[in-house]
Amino acid sequence: MKPLPPGLLGFTAAHMKRPASLLIALACALLLPACGPSECTPDNCRDGCCSEENECVRYASDESCGPKGGGACLGCATGSVCHLGQRACIVGVMRTRVQPARATILPYDPYSTEDEDWDFDGSPPDVVVEMRCPSASGVFRTPEDESLRPRWNTGGCEVITSNLLKFPLEISIFDVDDFAFDDSMGSFNYQVTPEDLHFGRIELALPEAVLALEIDLSHTYSAE
Tens of pLDDT, residue by residue over 75-89, are 999 999 999 989 999
Specify the pTM: 0.76
Range(s) of the domain holding residue 217: 94-222
3 state SS of 83: strand
The answer to whether residue 63 is domain-embedded is: no
What confidence tens digit (pLDDT) does each residue in 135-163 have? Answer: 899 999 999 999 999 999 999 999 999 99
For residue 16, name the pLDDT band (cuts at 50, 70, 90): very low
Domain count, the chain: 2
For residues 102 and 203, state if they share a domain.
yes
For residues 25 and 134, state if they share a domain.
no
3 state SS of 32: helix
Say if CB 192 and CB 203 are below 8 A apart.
no
For residues 118 and 200, state if they share a domain.
yes
**Computed over its alpha carbons, how large is the radius of gyration of the chain?**
27
3 state SS of 133: coil
Element (H, E) at 25: helix 20-30
The CATH number of the domain where 180 resides is what? 2.60.40.150
For residues 31 and 101, state if they share a domain.
no
For residues 24 and 102, state if they share a domain.
no
pLDDT of residue 7: 41
Q: In this model, does residue 110 exceed pLDDT 90?
A: no
Element (H, E) at 210: strand 210-222
